[in-house]
Structure 1
Amino acid sequence: MQAGMKIAVAAGCVLLAPVLFLSATLGAVLGTDGASSGAGGVIACTTAGAPTGSVAGYDPDQMANAATIVAVGKQLQVPEYGWVIAVATAITESGLRNLKYGDRDSLGLFQQRPSMGWGNPQQVTDPTNAASQFYRHLLAVPNWQQIGLAPAAQAVQASGFPDRYAKYESDARQIVSALTGVSCASAPAPSSSGGWVAPTAGRCTSGFGPRGGEFHRGQDIAAPMGAPIVAASGGRVIASGPANGYGLWVRIEHASGVITIYGHNNRNLVAVGQTVHTGQMIAEVGDQGESTGSHLHFQVETGGQSVDPAGFYRQQNGPALCAPSATRQAPGVR
């Protein structure tokens, strides 16, 4: 897994033109009386019946750890499908055991690493603290409720085996239902095309237009190092790797020949020729190339010409690309 995300400072680029225990009182602890709301209207989570407290194949200790994860999610007001994602992640990482060992210095339910900023050994082996850290990182993932369980879990965990989380979604849904009476539908297959989402969560810094006597061809979005970058819409990857000035970039071709560019990446997660869906994680925010701090340079091209990404999104009835900056940002420097 990777380090906890650090808060970014002002950034820009210079790309210019050329222990809960399982018991009879578990329902009261989790506060599961009453109807449950859906996960942002994307994953339907509804009260399906009374909690049973047990699931075949999982012993009382595993169920108690799952109960802690769910209770923390409820306390933090995480939508119910987030509980499923967290439980599936813990099954994948530790088998729902609070392990005192792991790969390198990984420990606990989520195999969080003290050396990578998740906390000290005591903290990462405290199930309540470990679950809290997982949820806080999950909530920072753009569109986490839309992209499916495995991509959402991978965005937090940065595993070398990103597809394995999906294997335990069914078990996690059963466990959450057994503990709370809440049943969450399977994540729908993400759209392979159409629709536009923000490529990362952050604040606007340098925008499209003249800057320092030259022309800046994209929108800079300041975000923490390692934060997820997702495909703005479905399409095909036409470039992924080093690029002059950008450090590492990803280029995606969408319908009608629209191309989006994601630059200064810390790490790319897709390959040329790969089809990606809207909201799929494709890279991590970085500071490579001609850059003055951790951020995403996001660029949109139509008809072979760069256009203002913010204006393009307005034309597509898309969301705001980034949060407004409190202060005007100085241009980047070479």
Structure 2
Amino acid sequence: MTLRRPRKVVLLVALVVTLTVLCCGGSVTALLLSGLNSSDDNQLLNASYGCGKGGIVDPDSKLPRIRPYGAEQIRNAAIIIDVGAELKLPPRAWVIAVATAMQESRLSNLGHLGSRNDHDSLGLFQQRPSTGWGTPRQVRDPVYAAKKFYQKLKTIDGWEKMPLTRAAQSVQISAYPDAYAKHEPLATEIVNSLADGAAQAVGDSVNLECAAAGQVAASGWTIPLKAPVGSGFRTPHRPTHQGVDLSVEKYRPILAVASGVVSLVKCDEDFRGRKTCNVDGYPGKGGCGWMVEIIHAGDVMTRYCHLVQRPFVRENQQVTAGEVLGRVGSSGNSSGPHLHFEVHMNNDRSSAGAVDPVRFMQQQGAPLGNEG
């Protein structure tokens, strides 16, 4: 059986957009969207075009170059997105499918690899004819292969809320179940670039509406809480301030901004070496107070400081986007209740790894600064 190619939809407007981003070392670099490189400090340079409202790119049109992939690989990604849209699946499914194909085949429609082949695996998703995915000819049809992947994904209960690697593994049953996670940032970039910013749409909605404050975007990211941004990132008055302060009353729940693994839970010492986190702090005391750090896909680390009490999570615990980590407080070096929130690239806990959380979260479709 030959599957009919899906109906083409609206052609995406030209993708020549200049973005200015803050690199890890603190320098400002201008990049063209058509030349984005996944090695650029993992900046996740996602275009914000309107959460998919402009339609899905025609796979047969001239597509942007998204390094390190070539034209045919990006075309295969466009086909995967196109099929997902035809099946009326939300953009979160497209991100999962693209990331899976990146891991399985580097977005290449692989034939039989001889002695290097994993059993009889073929095509974009390395589907095996011997296990019922279809005939060899079928699974090497990118449209057919993408449709079969999505059909299996739909049978996984709760896939929409799962971490990407778990959802992909539930379909693929891979020998390397944790390998998919590293592709999530670039898969998000690809979906945003090809599908009008769709990775910033509401994660489980097929209506392609932008994620509102507190909702999980198709990128897999959400905000830690609804609050205005107070002190900003490396301002002239506070050049060593490596995050932003979200000003809100005590005891407001703090949420994990994306799925990941808790890497640190501690009462941070003040300047005098004391661990006195169960009381309110004051300016000049020093330390983060009660704090949490989480490692996300792509070695992105987020940090949450000044919690009012011991966090609700423990080290090495897996968390999902929107899971409650603890409550807002004023412990440590603090003048009043607020959440100090940081984003670091390459799992670099130092100031060298810190990037502007406002810019970063905007790029993930989860903008900070919403009133409580």
* Category of TM-score, reference length = shorter chain: 0.3 to 0.5
TM-score w.r.t. length of structure 2: 0.40
Question: If the length of structure 1 is used for normalisation, what is the TM-score?
Answer: 0.44
Higher RCO (CA-CA < 8 Å; seq separation 6+): 1
